[in-house]
Amino acid sequence: MTLIDLGPPASEPVTLADLKTWCRIERDDEDALVVSLGKAARETVEALTRTILSRRGFRLVVDEAPADGWIEVPRVPVRSVGAVTAYDAAGTPHAFGASHAVIERALGIEAVRVSPDVVAAAANGLEIEFEAGFDAGAAPEGLKLALRRIVSASYEVRAALPASQQPAIVPQAAEVLLAPYRRVRL
């Protein structure tokens, strides 16, 4: 299974003004750095929790369709399924509409259940395009606070490491906020 991020979100979950206020930055000459740190912190929070903070599109490529049609989605919250494409034994794509996929939520797991028609046509795998993430301003406050704390810590060590290596640290205060959102696999 391969997950492809189809592009950046339309807006970041925490604004530049909010990050500057949190970090107590009054000047404007480091705005580009703060924006970069904000994006890196969002990516870190999303990677650690598998929770998408700002709504955007993804493509999930599945090598072999499960017989029952249930496919666990590795990013949450799943908002909608846009398209399903099944590949037959010859590698020919067969497009199915969103009506052939249903979002299922049970026991803390989010999955897409594809129809038996899709499973039958997917001898050589399938692709599911879906949207995941929170609407603008709707991300959980705990995750946004963790993001702010990561940006603040990264801003403090900005002279030690270049922006491309940030976030260099995830402070313990942020880790505590992220803990309830981490998905533990046994």
- Residue 159 reports pLDDT greater than 80: no
Q: Are residues 96 and 151 in the same domain?
A: no
Regarding whether 145 and 172 lie in a shared domain, the answer is: yes
Is the model's pLDDT at 163 over the cut of 70? no
List the CATH number of the domain containing 160: 1.10.3230
**Residue 154 CB: number of other CB atoms within 10 A?**
27
Q: Kindly state whether residue 6 falls inside one of the protein's structural domains.
A: yes
Mean pLDDT of 168-184: 90
Q: What rounded mean pLDDT belongs to the chain?
A: 93
Question: Do residue 85 and residue 146 come from a single domain?
Answer: no
Residues in the chain: 186
Residue pointed to by tokens 């981490």: 182
Question: Of the candidates 115, 132, 149, which is a domain's last residue?
Answer: 132
Query: Are 73 and 111 contained in the same domain?
Result: yes
Question: How many Å is the maximal CA-CA distance in the chain?
Answer: 60
Q: What pLDDT shows up at residue 166? A: 64
Domain that holds residue 15: 2-53+136-181
Considering the domain architecture, whether residues 78 and 42 belong to the same structural domain is answered as no
Question: Is residue 143 located within the same domain as residue 79?
Answer: no
The Cα–Cα gap between 155 and 23 comes to 8
Percent of the chain scored above 70 by pLDDT? 96
In a domain, 82, yes or no: yes
Number of domains making up the chain: 2
pLDDT in tens, 89-113: 999 999 999 999 999 998 778 999 9
Q: What is the 3-state secondary structure (H, E, C) of the chain?
A: CEEEECCCCCCCCCCHHHHHHHHCCCCCCCHHHHHHHHHHHHHHHHHHHCECCCCEEEEEEECCCCCCCEEECCCECEEEEEEEEEECCCCCEEEECHHHEEEEEECCEEEEEECHHHHHHCCCCEEEEEEECCCCCCCCHHHHHHHHHHHHHHHHCCCCCCHHHCCCCCCHHHHHHHHHHCCCCC
> Is 122's pLDDT higher than 80?
yes
Distance, in Å, from the CA atom of 64 to the CA atom of 168, rounded to the nearest integer, reads 37
144 pLDDT above the threshold of 70: yes
Tokens read off for 155: 């801003």
Query: Does 186 fall in a domain?
Result: no
Asked if pLDDT for residue 115 goes beyond 80, the answer is yes
pLDDT at 55 over 90: yes
Q: Is residue 160 part of a domain?
A: yes
Give the residue-averaged pLDDT of 114-138.
95
**121 against 165, higher pLDDT:** 121
User: Could you report the per-residue pLDDT of 76-95, keeping only the tens digit for each?
Assistant: 999 999 999 999 999 999 99
CA distance linking residue 142 with residue 34, whole number of Å: 20
